[in-house]
Structure 1
Amino acid sequence: MTYTTKDFDYHLPEELIAQTPLKDRSSSRLLVLDRQSHQKTDTDFKHILDYLQKGDALVVNETRVIPARLFGVKPDTGGHIEVLLLNNTQGNQWECLVKPGKRAKVGTVLHFGDQAQLVGTIVEHKADGGRIIEFSYQGVFLEVLESLGQMPLPPYIKEKLDDPDRYQTVYAKQNGSAAAPTAGLHFTQDLLQEARDRGIEIIPIVLHVGLGTFRPVSVEAIDQHQMHAEYYQVSPESAQRIQRVRQKGGKITAVGTTSVRTLETIARDHQGQIVAASGWTDIFITPGFKFCAVDHLITNFHLPQSTLMMLVSAFYDRNKILDAYQHAVAEKYRFFSFGDAMFIL
């Protein structure tokens, strides 16, 4: 069956879009969907471990969001350009989104900071509208970025974030994302420790969130959409731990769609097995996809007509997901990055 973007649409009142994170991460609400009984259960995220067993595993994405939004000036004209770093392609070159794009021709030089602590030169105009920018600077790039950049909050969040760490998971380690893997924002260190105490493993992987995760679907027929590639990495230790859990009959719970895409990419390329691997994935998971690595999914509530709506619909059932979203709207759940969560069993 060929689906269109409208098949993944739903009505969301604007007041349900969460603008600020809750003070206590784990006090967010949780909608549990049981794929066997088709029951819906309203609870709180702090009770999520009640749905897991000893010997199960939570696979978490330990990517860390970098202050990837920069505001530059063209020294020759004084024109302003906003830059969003997406991927470090090689050396000091980054794939970026820029606006306004008409001012960002190849050869354009941009200065960032009052003293031009960071200088960028546009060296390539990509077919999808992005740019490759080569940066020059003194010192350590991430330290320069920390002093000049801003946290790249999604455009639907209008309020200023008081504590930038609230847009990081508590286990974030590896710098490289342009957006947070938001399903993990609900976990606290105490909740993770409780999971370990119950015999539930916490296994880290990495997918640096870039344009592929949140780029809008601009075509009508979804099979015409091309995902943007994102970098992933699974260490030998993590791969071995995941395989060991599976061999012993434990269930693999992916914390977030990024963990799903990483594990299913590797499983697809290695006859269903999880092995140590790294590279770029543009996997696009839509209804009809055969999952072979993930048993359960923790995820937030996603934008209408997004690739993430398509992924969760593939994991369960499109009509059941749309029904669950209607329920969440009626019960006034909080939506999107700082919103509540869903657990699909």
Structure 2
Amino acid sequence: MNDSGSPAVDFSREDSIDPSVLAELPKGSRVISTEERGISFWGTTGRINVELADGTPVSFFIKAVTKERGKNMVYGEYESMKAIYNVAPNFAPKPIAWGSYQDCPDTHFFLCEYRDMAADMPDPDKFAARLAALHNNSASPTGKFGFHVTTHNGNLPQMTDWEDSWEIFFAKSMRHALDLEIAVKGWDPELDFLVPALFDRVIPRLLRPLESEGRSVKPSLIHGDLWYANSGIDTETGESLVFDACCFYAHNECELAGFYGEGNQTDRWDTNEDEFGQWRPICNRFGDEYLEAYRSYAQVSPPEEDYDGRLDLYKL
């Protein structure tokens, strides 16, 4: 079962590939086998091994989720991975398609090339170089902050409406996230003080100077959920790769909050549900060495004296 309570697709079965998925495979290819592969907290993931028309063996990665939220999740993931791949094709598996099952219309899929990955931490310098290239070489199609579709951080929809101002976009995103939190956990009396302080004092103090006195912020494409379990090392090429993106165009430093940790203290997969999340330093193995490496490829935004404060804000 997945988080929606619906039966998950069983990729260990040979007949698990729906006609809609088959239609997205290369013409003339033949499915040799399928297997469960990878981890998803919101659906089922697997590997499809095929033989091309010329006899070449090729594999694809598939993720299947259910219901309307699942449909929106894989659509956002496909558009996110496509955006990353278009800017930095050496930094992400090539996305192939997304869609809905023909035989079970309430099941939806994301399909991309399969890259066998080791769960090792990437070299800080090489990883930072690729991440900085993604940020530096990307360009918002509207010149604004946001994204053209709603993307999901995990199973939660993000606010991606286009905005000219980074301060306004970030504040709206925080309001949206806060509303989702309150809807689940209810209102806490401490929020009577914390919410006005955050929106009336902290956000304007730390973000408004970025766009004042002639300064501006470039909307950069960011992965959006860049914690260690959404990265890997290609076992054949040794290249650093990222996946499971929920992109939007943002201040590039917003991505770095996930690097604001204590380094590699525990096993890469040693975490628990209470610690889960990209902004929790205790579970995110991207330590200060990654942050320092990134700064060698991308300058700190002025005013530089607010840098640490901005990263603290972006951790929220």
Which bin holds the TM-score, normalised by the shorter protein? under 0.3
- Structure ranking higher in helix proportion: 2
* TM-score normalized with structure 2 length: 0.27
